[in-house]
Amino acid sequence: MMKKSKVFLSAIALASAALVSSQASAVEIINTSTLELVDNFAEADGFFAGGNKGNTFVDNYSFTLAQAGEFAAGVLSITGNAKNGLDITAFNLIDSTGSLFGGTLLSTGATDQWSLSTSTLAAGAYTIQIKGSILSNTAGRYSTNIALAPVPEPETYAMMLAGLGLLGFTARRRNKKAAAAALAA
């Protein structure tokens, strides 16, 4: 009888230990850094060491645009198969008011790829946010790129129109001279 109760108590202890270990909460890893746009381009890499299976992450990359422009960004994570590395679950652009522009998921699995673009982004402070989970105990990595194509200033349009006007005036004047020369001949 004593032997059966020891076995029973041992089984309960093992079951309790298994339950406690299975309920261990995942850790959310939060990283924040600043990007500097050089020639309207910036890139960043996220790296997570092995041993982080089940954890989630939120990486925030803040940057400032000096002028308005067309904005494009992408994030990519490649692993051997869908059960390793990272699962990127969100790719967002957040402006200084907290408004969120969500990215578009292009592929998931062994390759996670997201894109985000907007036709005109005003000058100001922004944050790129990448969220995801770590799928295995192997290391995981992603890479993100940001590009900006500046919108010309109004003065640039005025100069372009003035140049086109001068070209038109010159062409018209040449045509008049050619027509006068043809009549005189």
The CB density around residue 15, as the number of other CB atoms within 10 Å, is 10
What pLDDT was estimated at residue 130?
A: 96
Which residue, among 99, 94, 100, 108, has the nearest Cα to 142 in the 3D structure? 108
What pLDDT was estimated at residue 170?
A: 72
Tokens 């995942």 sit at which residue?
Answer: 26
What are the residue ranges spanned by the domains of the chain?
Answer: 24-151, 153-185
Per-position pLDDT tens, the chain of length 185: 545 545 444 544 444 444 334 445 678 888 999 998 888 899 999 999 889 999 999 999 999 988 888 999 999 999 878 888 899 999 999 999 999 999 999 999 999 999 999 888 899 999 999 999 999 998 899 999 999 888 766 666 566 677 676 676 676 777 777 667 767 76
* Architecture of domain 24-151 in this structure: Sandwich (2.60)
Whether pTM exceeds 0.85: no
Do residues 134 and 140 touch, judged by C-beta distance below 8 A? yes
Do residues 125 and 37 touch, judged by C-beta distance below 8 A? no
Cα distances (Å, whole numbers) of residue 52 to 24, 57, 87: 13, 10, 13
